Amino acid sequence: MIRLRRAVLPAAAVERLRDYTDDIRQQATEKERKDRAKELWENRRRVRPALLMGLAEMAPGHERCMYCGDSQGTDIDHFEPKSLAPLRTFDWLNHLLACSFCNSNQKRSRFPTAADGSPLLVDPTAEDPLDHLRLVLPLGTYRGLTDRGRACIEVFGLNERAVLVKGRMDAYWTARDSIELWRIAMDKGDRDKATRIVRVAWNRPLIDVLVAMFHQSGHPAADALFVGEEEVLELLREPELRSAFLHFRGVSY
């Protein structure tokens, strides 16, 4: 999971979402609100294209799932399930792009909460997952830094799904190759190739690996985190390289 910026929907879509929410709010009981929310969502044709367009704009890489970062995002997931919060069914701030596996097999209607009722899952459009999760780069597994990070690992199976772990391990080597090739291209004065390398690197699946590499290279314990990978760490610390890669995403670590 990586930090994402919430897109702005067209005014017409915002108005339509508000109308649907008002319709649900007018129902007399909670059961009626849930039933109406379900009915309206099943017939969401008038807002679905705008929602998918906005989510695709926000998603990592080429419309990757906002949870696992690997598969294509095909589903509009409700961060807070509509079965628990019917009034948020058409709340744009409650919509995320998910792959069908994360949405239907992993998360489903699960929404763990803390003792005070606050959500334990991390919404990547509202906060930085790096505050809750640390990727152990050579192993391709996540470590929970907080209860919320641990809940995300459990709910989305981030360490249990072998395809994700193996994919992250491969993505680490691919990311290493990208920064090395960028350095070679720049040393040869081929800025067009260097720019293309940056663009392709950020559009690959599992870019949480590349994000973690830049984030951890600036950590006070970076030397320990990259033990045995000193050449990679040296490249990641280069101001010119960091500027080229991070400016492309509009972030800083």
User: Do 33 and 120 share a domain, yes or no?
Assistant: yes
Give the predicted TM-score (pTM) of the model: 0.91
pLDDT bracket for residue 249 (50, 70, 90): confident
Domain enclosing residue 119, as ranges? 11-156
Final residue of a structural domain among 104, 130, 156: 156
The residue type of 219 is: H
Q: What is the mean pLDDT of the chain?
A: 94
**Does residue 22 carry a pLDDT above 80?**
yes
* pLDDT tens digit sequence for 128-155: 999 999 999 989 999 999 999 999 999 9
User: Do 182 and 80 share a domain, yes or no?
Assistant: no
Phi, psi (5° rounding) for residue 213?
-60, -45
User: Which of 173, 197, 175 is closest to 185 using CA atoms?
Assistant: 197
Structure tokens at 89: 């069914």
User: Do 71 and 87 share a domain, yes or no?
Assistant: yes
CA distances from 112 to 33, 117, 157, 243 (A): 22, 9, 14, 38
* pLDDT tens digit sequence for 49-96: 999 999 999 999 899 999 999 999 999 999 999 999 999 999 999 999
User: Do 52 and 98 share a domain, yes or no?
Assistant: yes
**Does residue 248 carry a pLDDT above 90?**
no
User: Do 151 and 167 share a domain, yes or no?
Assistant: no
Partner residues linked to 72 by β-bridges: 64
* pLDDT tens digit sequence for 85-125: 999 999 999 999 999 999 999 999 999 999 999 999 999 99
Q: What is the pLDDT of residue 253?
A: 63
- 4, part of any domain: no
**Number of folded domains in the chain?**
2
**Does residue 252 carry a pLDDT above 70?**
no
DSSP 73: P
User: Do 128 and 18 share a domain, yes or no?
Assistant: yes
User: Do 199 and 218 share a domain, yes or no?
Assistant: yes
